[in-house]
Chains A and B, each alone.
Chain A
């Protein structure tokens, strides 16, 4: 094991999985001076649990005090607000409200406020029904009471993770897509990984495989200490004018198993309702269900009666990698230079940067040459927020292709020809928002099929001979 030629390098760290956690991990270790390779089995990053969530940056007010989750969310939250200006990541400081709709829920509020204070989120405060209705006049008068969490933000779930991995790549990390880890051997301090796209060697492995966390542990360690139990969440997204109905993120009183159905604005200007919480076997199939979508819409209208007048823009479903345990499952196999980061069920977007620091602080036993990068490159994130400057506002954009989301030819071509260029329509949508507006591609699919010719697999359409 002495080969260190360019075509067969030994990486300091191999990160398995490019969800938001893997992307944050890649950034952290790259900035800390490690030579990092990220192995993603899908054609695009963010193809698993991270492709569909509620896009909220949580304070962690409701996490179990003393849990790994709570500390990672708190640390992730703080670091996000610290770095987001530099990376150009937009935030919308909406705040949140936890709302009680019956007496039982009302009675449970003081304990939840107490828990928030225990978690160090000290600005959480009880509010009267009247005060809440004054702040959010579209809420149903059936409201009983609630409390406010002023520090909650709405963020861009995709640009965020893309910014992490793009910063890692800009500073030397290698991303391999279509690279599934099938197995591996640890020998003489080196992991020899069998990967669908070709073997990879690394001193350290960090499993961030999300929905495949247990499968990956089993493939590399022989067993996993937990079982992934995919939990499906469906969402209904309303047209942009509906966003005026709710200033704050509207949260229900959580139950033991779920945080419940949330109403939240998105940074793209819409108002969304979801998720459902449905346990299932499949790790790949996140279906929408007609009945659940009607039910979500009805739940939304129950809380915000005026929502009944607004059109639906889209619906989606995602899978959270829950396990049989409440807390995150982060464990280290010191003897085999291996860390497993699993069970990041629903707070991964908020906690990712904190999880990365948590793992980095485990002192994984590998020294990186040179130490932290002195002046790391800070690339700019995709500018997709409805509330901040967009590409179409700047001259020379080459024309608007997607009229609903005002996506320009210039930004589509920049994504297709830039670093980590998308190779699927799904990936392009997450990078640019093309076809994600109210017409869902009615107007722009034709033009897009020509513009993306030669870039996407599968293509949007084949040439008609």
Chain B
């Protein structure tokens, strides 16, 4: 353990959000911005998404994931961002202090501000409580893509895909790219999850799709041999296969948060943030999919731009601790409400919109209540895969500070 390192802004995670934030901070004139990436190269998830379309909004044309990741890295470096890869953040300490580990050992880094941009990952087989044996050859899409696009490896030849989110269709394309052929796509829900179903549907051609599957079970000893399930007619299907791709059901990569002094929100699985995008320690900002599962790279890129403006302002004119109220969902059908804290000040430059998602298809009035008053009401007709955006609740009518509860009146 040598001296403590210093920098102005330390960004944890060099994916889309982290790189976009770093680049935008430099554009705002913020000096000494360092991105800490634990992988051997920055770029994040797009590094191993070898398909289109990335970057239309932010870079003006469609890229494949790896090219998009390289472009983000290039832009960041050109803007004067320092990217340090092979650096693992091992601890978040109060007041923007980080514990780091590299192959050379441990060191601490003291920044003026930290931004957490650690992104998301898919739920594992274990987290889904699947039945059956535990052979080799059960992978998440992310693991498959890293094998195929970054390591030139093929873990199986004819896998079955569990799930029907956008990433599940991306798994079909990854299979094609890697010389594999998906044997089937199996969805436990009553219908395909991805929105704008018709577009990715083209990718499905020739791949049998089963929705409403129950009693999923993996078979095989050393390696996967088959997957069985009860189909929507109540008949047991058995599909011979040598691999299972567990796709989707993203969750924030919040390991560092859980071990830290920062509060975590059970709804998003990410940190509790305020209207400025700060965690419960105001020296920590948060942006990207760590906030909530899951948005596209394009969305995270745009969000990071807004976060950069707030961070730049905070660095020149510190916001400090402000009085706030908490808001939360009190409805099981409403998975989360973001941000979790609303400032009771004029909140200049803060978020003007709230983000929400439902856990099941819901149609009704979204209502926010505080101290018995309705502070927001809006009709929604939504599904779990859709983002809900509403104007931030107005607390000006409240006589006293009281927490906001959000629910849906059907």
Q: Is the A/B pair a real complex?
A: yes
On A, residues with C-beta under 8 Å from B are: 237, 239-241, 284-290, 293-294, 309, 311-317, 392-400, 403-404, 406, 424-426, 438-443, 445-447, 449-450, 458, 460-465
CB-CB under 8 A from B178, the residues of chain A are 464
Apart from A294-B129, A443-B39, A464-B152, 7 more pairs, CB < 8 Å: A241-B259, A288-B134, A400-B101, A424-B136, A426-B136, A439-B121, A445-B146
Closest 6 pairs (CB-CB, A-B): A446-B146, A461-B153, A440-B124, A445-B143, A395-B105, A461-B155
CB-CB under 8 A from A290, the residues of chain B are 129-131, 215-216
Q: How far is the CA of A356 from the CA of B269 in the complex (A)?
A: 48
Q: How far is the CA of A424 from the CA of B255 in the complex (A)?
A: 28
Which residues B132-154 have CB closer than 8 A to chain A?
A: 132-134, 136, 139-140, 142-143, 145-148, 150-154
Q: Contact at A449–B147, with CB atoms within 8 Å?
A: yes
CB-CB under 8 A from A460, the residues of chain B are 136, 147, 153, 155
Q: How far is the CA of A450 from the CA of B48 in the complex (A)?
A: 15
Q: Contact at B103–A287, with CB atoms within 8 Å?
A: no
Q: Contact at A443–B127, with CB atoms within 8 Å?
A: no
Nearest-CB distance from A316 to chain B (Å)? 7
Q: Contact at B101–A241, with CB atoms within 8 Å?
A: no
Q: Contact at A462–B154, with CB atoms within 8 Å?
A: yes
Q: How far is the CA of A441 from the CA of B125 in the complex (A)?
A: 11
Q: Contact at A449–B153, with CB atoms within 8 Å?
A: yes
CB-CB under 8 A from A449, the residues of chain B are 147, 151, 153, 155
CB-CB under 8 A from B208, the residues of chain A are none
CB-CB under 8 A from B38, the residues of chain A are 400, 403
Q: How far is the CA of A193 from the CA of B130 in the complex (A)?
A: 41
Q: Contact at A240–B129, with CB atoms within 8 Å?
A: no
CB-CB under 8 A from B266, the residues of chain A are 309
Q: Contact at A395–B179, with CB atoms within 8 Å?
A: no
Please count the residue pairs between chain A and chain B whose beta carbons lie under 8 angstroms apart in the complex: 142
Residue of A at shortest CB range from B124?
A440
Q: How far is the CA of A241 from the CA of B215 in the complex (A)?
A: 31
CB-CB under 8 A from B259, the residues of chain A are 240-241
Nearest-CB distance from B409 to chain A (Å)? 27
Q: Is B223 an interface residue (CB 8 A)?
A: yes
Q: Contact at B143–A442, with CB atoms within 8 Å?
A: yes
Which residues B98-136 have CB closer than 8 A to chain A?
A: 101, 103-106, 121-122, 124-127, 129-134, 136
CB-CB under 8 A from B121, the residues of chain A are 439, 442-443
* A442: contacting residue among B142, B215, B223, CB under 8 A: B142
CB-CB under 8 A from A404, the residues of chain B are 255
Residue of B at shortest CB range from A426?
B136
Q: Is B86 an interface residue (CB 8 A)?
A: yes
- Knowing A314-B126, A400-B88, A464-B153 touch, does A287 contact B142 (C-beta < 8 A)? no
Q: Is B405 an interface residue (CB 8 A)?
A: no
Q: How far is the CA of A449 from the CA of B152 in the complex (A)?
A: 9
Q: Contact at B133–A462, with CB atoms within 8 Å?
A: no
Residue of B at shortest CB range from A291?
B131
Q: Contact at B132–A439, with CB atoms within 8 Å?
A: no
Q: Is B258 an interface residue (CB 8 A)?
A: yes
Q: Contact at A285–B131, with CB atoms within 8 Å?
A: no
Q: How far is the CA of A284 from the CA of B150 in the complex (A)?
A: 35
Q: How far is the CA of A425 from the CA of B222 in the complex (A)?
A: 10
Q: How far is the CA of A441 from the CA of B139 in the complex (A)?
A: 8
Q: Contact at B136–A458, with CB atoms within 8 Å?
A: yes
* A316: contacting residue among B134, B136, B148, CB under 8 A: B134
- Knowing A400-B88, A464-B153 touch, does A442 contact B147 (C-beta < 8 A)? no
